[in-house]
Amino acid sequence: EDKVVQSPLSLVVHEGDTVTLNCSYEVTNFRSLLWYKQEKKAPTFLFMLTSSGIEKKSGRLSSILDKKELFSILNITATQTGDSAIYLCAVGGFSGTYKYIFGTGTRLKVLA
């Protein structure tokens, strides 16, 4: 069965800390892995990782994809209170139908 598992479920850190969020997956015919940030509303896109793009970076955020071990990590350095959100991992695959499966998310709270 296709699945996406994120860990930890929740995390509380202080401003300036570095955090690592994990996403492991088992998806038929993997095509892409995406990270989203969800504050009190709709998810917003952070990164997309594929076979041809296994490492992405934008400012304090970076992500890597390990296709062999079937996981991805999202790193946030020098965290700020504005980073407080739920971080969602989604994986796209194909098994007769197009699948787009989300993990349950990691809730990050950054304290001032």
Partner 1 sequence: EAQVTQNPRYLITVTGKKLTVTCSQNMNHEYMSWYRQDPGLGLRQIYYSMNVEVTDKGDVPEGYKVSRKEKRNFPLILESPSPNQTSLYFCASSQTSGGPYNEQFFGPGTRLTVL
Gap between the Cα atoms of 97 and 36, Å rounded: 23
Q: Does 109 bind partner 1 (CB under 8 A)?
A: no
What letters, b where the CB count within 10 A reaches 16 and e where it falls short, cover 34-71? bbbbeeeeebeebbebeeeeeebeeeebebebeeeeeb
Q: Does 112 bind partner 1 (CB under 8 A)?
A: no
Count of beta carbons in the 10 Å neighbourhood of residue 104: 13
Pick the closer one to partner 1 by CB: 17 or 70. Answer: 70
Task: Find residue 47's DSSP bridge partners.
Answer: 35
According to CB under 8 A, which one of 19, 21, 34, 76 is a site residue for partner 1? Answer: 34
One of 23, 74, 76, 88 touching partner 1 (CB under 8 A) = 88
- The yes or no reply on residue 110 touching partner 1 (CB under 8 A) is no
Question: By the criterion CB under 8 A, which residues form the site for partner 1?
Answer: 31-32, 34, 41-45, 48, 50, 88, 90, 92, 94, 97-105
